[in-house]
Amino acid sequence: MRGRRALVTGAGQGIGFALARGLGAAGAEVLLNDVDPARLEQAVAALRGEGLVVHGRCFDVTNGADVERSVAEIERGIGPVDIVINNAGIHRRAPLESMPLELWQEVLDVNLTSAFLVTRAVVGGMIRRRAGKIITICSLNCEVSRPTIANYAAAKGGLKMLTRAMAVEWARHNIQVNGLGPGYMRTAMTGTLTIDADFDRFICARTPAGRWGEPRELIGTAVFLASRASDFVNGQILYVDGGLLAAL
């Protein structure tokens, strides 16, 4: 991946940080985005300490004007973006019948609309160069749901179809758009669930691998989707879930 530049949203921690590290270790120049400046600064310092070529850019992926301005500054000051990983995501759990509108809207804005805004800001250059890799971080909740996560499942289901729609529109420009669908991973966002003994037993019993996944286990799939090895792979969602979706 030498000579290629990757923008990873929500990369201050968790899956985004792991994927940024993986692409950087594979030779890419990596641009980390996060909305929290302190978290972003710490992430950039950590990866630079590992000898990776890393830049940080703090902007709100749900603000169209902020996204357009920041991407323009990146491409003008650092260089064109060859790879985008739309990873930014949040969870706001509540029963659907009593879910406040603001919790519904916040999750859709961050988990779905941000992927549209960031990709729209970058894809023009990819079209002109006739090359680009766009990866959306989907979820097994693109396919299945459970109580209290209707907003998250709706956003991830929409992200799955946005991924396919973008692939259909831009394949003729030699742009590949695919989704990476993690199963249950140990991250800051799932931290409260991993220490819930009942839920931990449920996930381990439901997953054929018998355990939670680790963010580093997503790196191989991300590198494949970001590299020339996937030049004829388009509009696909590749699930890395320990077999969960394959099992009854």
Distance in angstroms (rounded) separating the CA atoms of residues 91 and 135:
20
Among the listed residues 17, 152, 170, 184, the single catalytic one is 152
Task: Identify the sign of the CA torsion 225, 226, 229, 231.
Answer: positive
Active site annotation includes 239: no
Whether residue 182 contacts residue 216, with contact meaning beta carbons closer than 8 Å, is answered with no
Q: What's the token pair of residue 6?
A: 């990757």
Three-state SS for 181? strand
Whether residue 115 contacts residue 84, with contact meaning beta carbons closer than 8 Å, is answered with no
What is the DSSP annotation of 50-66?
Answer: TT--EEEEE--TT-HHH
Three-state SS for 12? coil
Q: Provide the annotated active-site residues.
A: 152
